[in-house]
Amino acid sequence: MDFYNAYAHGFARVAACTLPVAIADPAANAARVLEQARHCHDDGVAVAVFPELCLSGYAIEDLLLQDVLLDAVDAAVASVVEGSRELTTVLVVGAPLVVDGRVLNCALVVHHGEVLGVAPKSYLPTYREFYERRHFAPGDDRRGGSVTVAGQSVPFGPDLLFDVVDVPGLVLHVEVCEDMWVPVPPSAEAALAGATVLANLSGSPITVARAEDRRLLVRSASHRCNAAYVFAAAGQGESSTDLSWDGQTMIYEVGELLAEGERFPEGPRRTVADVDLDHLRQERLRMGTFDDNRRTHAERTSQFRTVRLELAPPAGDLGLRRKVDRFPFVPDDPERLALDCYEAYNIQVYGLEQRMLAMSSETWAPKAVIGVSGGLDSTHALIVAAKAMDRAGRPRSEILAYTMPGFATGSETKDLATRLCASLGVTFEEIDIRPAAEQMLDDLDHPYSEGEDVYDVTFENVQAGLRYDYLFRLANHRGGLVVGTGDLSELALGWCTYGVGDQMSHYNVNAGVPKTLVQHLIRWVADSGQFEDETNDVLREILELEITPELIPATEDAPEQRTEDTVGPYSLQDFTLYHVLRRGYRPSKIAFLAWHAWHDVEAGEWPPGFPADKRGAYDLDTIRDWLEVFVRRFFASQFKRSALPNGPKVSAGGTMSPRGDWRMPSDAAPTAWLAEIEANVPHS
């Protein structure tokens, strides 16, 4: 595998191009198209989309019916075709063509000195400022046709798919401007027929707020069709007799904006992005209703024709022309992050409130029983429980919070747990589990009971298990339900004690929350004033703590236990989790994306509030090593996830619940995934 090459990982580079148009001067326009086409070729672009009627100009009115203009367009087309001979990039160019005695508004697909096919505009606007039927015939009834262009007889119609056979998954469909604005656009049928990249050549004069309308249509089309949508509008040079133009260009992928160009530009602009073809394919695999919809419309979609071509994409490191989030569960945009935190927190609060309500009767309501360590997860579960009680109109004193120090509990975390509970006004008690743990270790004939410093899994799980044994018996004794604290990342990595341990609860509010999101949720709770100032101050102190299970005593030779030393950096492991759970990607692709996201600490964005002193970078060897750890732990821990208690799904990234997003056999082996890493992820 050419590991650093984007095409090798299922990406295809596309461009939306706008350029100054010379009104009714096809020769000049052809030269300008080819100039931008050469830049696209040099940039490794697979498909470049130009504006509607860019070879003639859009707003030239009755000149569209002049023989001189039409002859010049034919010559310009021939020039573009010849000029494309040595270019890798597929060019999608707008021009008026005479077909069967009428002029049609067309998009020509050109590659390597050939016209591969021509897509006519299906729907012609004749409302408000538009009067296209004066000059053009509609193309909606031209399915199955052919036309002679530049001396070649080529497929003609809105029913053409262009399949790039050596870039798996790249299937292009082309529509023109108004085709996108109708209730059932040609691109929707094309997507059902297999198109993954939808191109729109647009004239689209600009009026106030029309740019937002275009964004809405392009975004929704890409989302609804599980496709990429490439949009290029006319700009500088078009006639301003009665209209104006902004040259808007944009590329969306399944509802996400990959790139957008400057509006009202001076000179040509190329908006370039790498489309993730695997993402499109995976979304369609998962969304069975997509194919159901295809079967509903099979009579039309089965009639699409496929034109096959070879691109011979460039090799080597081309970079990656798209944003890759370091933290895919955590938005970089402050407003989006605040909204996500608001929604996630209230999803958790509502889930717990509903569960307590469902268990209640006219005379009794369960208390919330929770173990509080002073760490991130239990802190967040506690403030979820506090808000649930507030919403239910019940006193916070009906939250029974317990801190249960063990052999390695630090004074700082214990103090923070105590102060947090006091500030919230919950019922708080301390239960020292060390005597019970020592008795159990003695009963087990564990070496620790003989004075040896043996801190193995048994030593750790005796403590973790006892804590939850106490919580469940306390819930029995005092009429409550145990609120779980373990998060999504721990469930993925198996970093939880099975059975009577932190894998189990009566209801786990954190089950759908990844570790990398927890800190932002707590920070949002504090900063948005969900509680009193004293509580918010303690929450901010907790955010500064190291992540540790506090199960093994620190010594001079062995410093404080760090969770991430064992399971890996949560920043990397959550990155992998998202792309496994939400996208189903191969390990090599995840490694490629992780390298682009993490190899340079100065590149890209960081989430708001992320401490500067905790920002870091990872080289490919580190990414590869922890990826192997993830795969091994993920497969080995499925039995824990198959027996999960209830808990709300929070993130669109997914959940581990066997009743929700994730089901797999507990005895599956990671062999194929590890082999894929070995074969395709190099050591740096």
Alpha helical stretches, state H, 307-433: 334-359, 376-392, 411-424
Residue 363 CB contacts under 8 Å (≥ 6 apart), including other chains: none
Determine the Cα–Cα distance for residues 310 and 88; give it in Å rounded to an integer.
9
- How many other C-beta atoms can be found within 10 angstroms of the C-beta atom of residue 64? 22
Write out the two tokens for 215. 């964004």
Per the listing, tokens 């999504």 go with: 488
Point out the annotated binding site for L-glutamine: 127, 204, 210
The string of DSSP codes covering 194-223 is: T--EEEEEE-----TTHHHHHHHHHHHHHH
Determine the Cα–Cα distance for residues 459 and 447; give it in Å rounded to an integer.
10
Pairing relation of β-strands 102-111 and 90-99? antiparallel
Rama region for 394: left / alpha / beta (φ>0; ψ in -120 to 50; rest) = beta
Per the listing, tokens 């897509």 go with: 119
Determine the Cα–Cα distance for residues 269 and 234; give it in Å rounded to an integer.
11
CA-based Rg of the chain, rounded to a whole angstrom? 30
Point out the annotated binding site for deamido-NAD(+): 461, 490, 495-498, 640
> Using CB atoms within 10 A of its CB, is residue 514 exposed (0-12), middle (13-18) or buried (19+)?
buried
The question of whether 40 is a catalytic residue gets the answer no
The string of DSSP codes covering 249-270 is: EEEEETTEEEEEPPSS-SS-EE
Per the listing, tokens 């189990």 go with: 504
Selection from 437, 441, 438 nearest residue 467 by Cα:
437
- CB-based burial, 179-193: b 16+ in 10 Å, e otherwise: bbeeeebbbbbbbbb
DSSP annotation of 366: P
Sheet holding 480-484, edge to edge: 427-430, 399-403, 367-371, 480-484, 507-508
Pairing relation of β-strands 102-111 and 114-120? antiparallel
Catalytic residue among 106, 121, 189, 550: 121
Helix (H) or strand (E) holding 518: helix 515-527
Query: Do residues 405 and 466 touch, judged by C-beta distance below 8 A?
Result: no
Widest CA span in the chain: 102
Catalytic residue among 52, 132, 189, 283: 52
Point out the annotated binding site: 127, 204, 210, 371-378, 461, 485, 490, 495-498, 640
The question of whether 121 is a catalytic residue gets the answer yes
Selection from 20, 9, 29, 154 nearest residue 94 by Cα:
29
Write out the two tokens for 437. 């743990």
Query: Do residues 591 and 681 touch, judged by C-beta distance below 8 A?
Result: yes
Determine the Cα–Cα distance for residues 146 and 455; give it in Å rounded to an integer.
77
Phi, psi torsion values for 15, nearest 5 degrees: -135, 140
Determine the Cα–Cα distance for residues 382 and 85; give it in Å rounded to an integer.
66
Residue 178: HSE in the Cβ half-sphere, 13 Å Cα cutoff:
18
The question of whether 52 is a catalytic residue gets the answer yes
Determine the Cα–Cα distance for residues 338 and 465; give it in Å rounded to an integer.
36
Determine the Cα–Cα distance for residues 401 and 385; give it in Å rounded to an integer.
10
Determine the Cα–Cα distance for residues 244 and 240; give it in Å rounded to an integer.
5
E strands in 449-601: 480-484, 507-508
Determine the Cα–Cα distance for residues 215 and 217; give it in Å rounded to an integer.
5
Per the listing, tokens 């159901």 go with: 292
Query: Do residues 38 and 4 touch, judged by C-beta distance below 8 A?
Result: no
Write out the two tokens for 444. 């087990």
Catalytic residue among 177, 225, 341, 421: 177
Residues taking part in catalysis: 52, 121, 177
